[in-house]
């Protein structure tokens, strides 16, 4: 538990130092860091590199600029492996996350590992459900 809180804090601090500007965006990115730690870290790892041959790295600026692919992947998961990942351990559908949580995760990962922060409105996510 302690470790979890610490890593979440580290993530939040890390993201504050990178590209996001504006208080609202910083808040969203910070919330995204916590949400990432809770829902994504176990597969993609805290540093986003994932695990070779199992979970793909998220540290890919082209991927992190692809709004449609990110929304689709998070909401619906993958039914067949497109990258690495075995049949039994595919990217799960995470439709139980709220629109704000998904928006925050996308802001966090793009801000931290992409070229620039990708802001997706909650309405855009709702429409893709
Ligand atoms: C149970 C493990 C698991 C969890 C939890 C998980 N993922 Fe994944 N994710 C995968 C696997 C496996 C793939 C590769 C699927 C494939 O082969 O196309 C993947 C693919 C992706 C991709 C697409 C990569 C690409 O280049 O196509 C993105 C983006 C992604 N995950 C983001 C996330 C985020 C953000 C979260 C948390 C909200 C998350 N994942 C949670 C296992 C997981």
Q: State mean pLDDT over 114-127.
A: 96
Instruction: Assess contact for 53 and 47: CB atoms under 8 A.
Output: no
pLDDT for position 34 = 97
**pLDDT for res 3:** 64
Domain boundaries, the chain: 2-128
CB under 6 Å to ligand 1: residues? 39-40, 42-44, 55-56, 58, 63, 70, 73-74, 78, 81-85, 89-92, 94, 105, 109
Cα angle, residue 22 at apex, residues 75 and 60 outer, rounded to 5°: 45
CA-nearest residue, atom 19 of ligand 1? 91
Residue 55 Cα to ligand 1 midpoint, Å, equals 7
Quickly state the pLDDT bin for 5 (edges 50, 70, 90). low
Q: How far is the CA of 6 from the centre of ligand 1 (A)?
A: 23
Q: Which residue has the higher pLDDT, 101 or 10?
A: 101
Structure tokens at 111: 């801000």
pTM, rounded to two decimals: 0.86
List, for residues 74-120, the tens digit of each pLDDT value.
999 987 766 655 556 788 999 999 999 999 999 999 999 999 999 99
pLDDT at 19: 53
**pLDDT tens for each residue of 31-77:** 999 999 999 999 999 999 998 878 889 999 999 999 999 999 999 99
Those residues with Cβ within 8 angstroms of residue 99's Cβ, 6 or more apart along the chain or in another chain:
122, 123, 125, 126
Instruction: Give CATH superfamily name and number for 2-128.
Output: Cytochrome c-like domain (1.10.760.10)
């Amino acid at each position: 538990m302690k470790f979890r809180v610490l890593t979440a804090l580290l993530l939040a601090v890390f993201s504050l130092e990178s590209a996001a500007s504006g208080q609202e965006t910083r808040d969203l990115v910070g919330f995204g860091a916590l949400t990432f730690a809770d829902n994504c870290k176990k597969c993609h790892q805290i540093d986003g590199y994932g695990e070779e041959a199992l979970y793909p790295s998220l540290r890919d600026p082209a991927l992190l600029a692809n709004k449609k692919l990110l929304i689709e992947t998070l909401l619906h998961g993958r039914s067949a492996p497109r990258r690495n990942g075995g049949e039994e351990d595919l990217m799960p559908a995470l439709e139980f996350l709220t629109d704000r949580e998904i928006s925050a995760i996308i802001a966090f990962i793009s801000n931290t590992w992409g070229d620039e922060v990708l802001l997706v409105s909650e309405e855009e996510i709702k429409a893709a459900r």
